[in-house]
Structure 1
Amino acid sequence: MSATTEIVAVTDPRLPGLLALDQMTLSDYPGGDATRHPALTPVRAAPGPHRFGSGVFDEGGLLLAITYVDVSADARAETDFTVVRPGHRGLGLGRAVKAASVLALLERHVRVFRTGGAAENTAIIAVNRALGYVRDEEWVTLER
């Protein structure tokens, strides 16, 4: 990340490039239906007491990475998804945006964080491990 890269909380679903980055990365999820999410819409992207998003912008204002977390009524967080723009992967942006969301939610008194990722998505598995997530279950996707 450059010194002028900025990580911000999503406060408006019309954040420049938000829906476009999500659309651009929808087919990038390894692992099948269990790790994919529906496309963001202005409604799904809207932040609120139970929905939190963070984004990483470069110095030119281009959105490079986003993560969304759902927070339950009992203050437990579950990562919905984290994506990084193609061409900017492997630079620590996914880790940065995910870490920023954890720190922001800690300030909101969230103390339990859950996340996932397909076994073949070694990048997000490494990010999760680096951020202190511990694997406590595995899901199996069966196909006909």
Structure 2
Amino acid sequence: MKRLTEAGYFVVGESWGARLRLSDPPNLTVLHAAVVAATGQGFRIEELDASWAPQVTALEAMNHADYPYTPATSVPHRDESDVLDLWTFGCRLFGAIHDGQLVAVSVMSLTAARAETEFTSVHRTYRRRGLAVAVKAASITALAHDGVRIFGTGGAQVNAGSIRMNEHLGYAIEERWLSLTVPH
């Protein structure tokens, strides 16, 4: 790193990776409290089936420009076919629903070693109400009941809200990486 910066390379993005390691049996108190806090505000928190694909697609389209971009954390545009593939490939989706409308979603994929967050997204007008925490907590709880004990997530360093949300759920940042660009 030192040699590269001395040669004129400069940082164009910072990213992080975090892990949540649950005990066995897991203590789900914080996770349960996050879901209760959201349901207490009138939101329904539940696992979503593929019939929700149009609403997940619309939420992602609306929020796409809000995702921070770095060379290591770009977010693809997802059409309905891409969203349907999430279920096809075994992802589990959890949402917050208000008056029949999906206002937040968290998507988890499973690997042999852990569950990995694919993305968590909240409708702009429903942000800062604990919904990202609630849908992610619901996903972790469901997967913990299925025996998963290690969870991974990550993102752009500039997304302080995502970092706080994940730390609240017990994730610890274990990796950081920098994206550098070549001097001109």
Output the TM-score relative to the length of structure 2: 0.69
8 Å CA contact 1:9–1:54 kept in 2: the answer is yes
The aligned residue for residue 22 of structure 1 is 60
Q: Provide the secondary structure at the position in 2 that maps to 1:101.
A: helix
Q: Are residues 80 and 70 of structure 1, via their aligned partners in 2, closer, same or farther at CA, if it must alter by over 3 Å? A: same
Q: Are residues 108 and 40 of structure 1, via their aligned partners in 2, closer, same or farther at CA, if it must alter by over 3 Å? A: farther
Residues 1:65 and 2:127 are matched in the alignment:
no
The aligned residue for residue 42 of structure 2 is 4
d(CA) in 1 for partners of 2:140 and 2:75? 20
Residues 1:55 and 2:95 are matched in the alignment:
yes
Q: Are residues 108 and 42 of structure 1, via their aligned partners in 2, closer, same or farther at CA, if it must alter by over 3 Å? A: farther
d(CA) in 2 for partners of 1:90 and 1:107? 28
Q: Provide the secondary structure at the position in 2 that maps to 1:109.
A: coil
List gaps (5 residues or longer) in structure 2: 1-37
d(CA) in 2 for partners of 1:142 and 1:122? 21
The aligned residue for residue 176 of structure 2 is 138
The aligned residue for residue 36 of structure 1 is 74
d(CA) in 2 for partners of 1:119 and 1:63? 27
Q: Provide the secondary structure at the position in 2 that maps to 1:79.
A: strand
Shift of 1:44: 3.4
Q: Provide the secondary structure at the position in 2 that maps to 1:141.
A: strand
Percent of pairs identical after alignment? 35
- Greater RCO (Cα-Cα under 8 Å, separation 6 or more): 2
The aligned residue for residue 150 of structure 2 is 112
The range that moved more, 5-14 or 114-123, is 5-14
Q: Whose helix proportion is higher, 1 or 2?
A: 2
d(CA) in 1 for partners of 2:178 and 2:97? 35
CA RMSD of aligned residues (A): 1.9
The aligned residue for residue 17 of structure 2 is none
Q: Are residues 110 and 41 of structure 1, via their aligned partners in 2, closer, same or farther at CA, if it must alter by over 3 Å? A: farther
8 Å CA contact 1:65–1:83 kept in 2: the answer is yes
* Counterpart residue identity of residue 71, structure 1: L
Q: Whose strand proportion is higher, 1 or 2?
A: 2
Output the TM-score relative to the length of structure 1: 0.87
Larger Rg: 2
Q: Are residues 42 and 88 of structure 1, via their aligned partners in 2, closer, same or farther at CA, if it must alter by over 3 Å? A: same
The aligned residue for residue 125 of structure 2 is 87
d(CA) in 2 for partners of 1:19 and 1:32? 22
List gaps (5 residues or longer) in structure 1: none
The range that moved more, 29-38 or 19-28, is 29-38
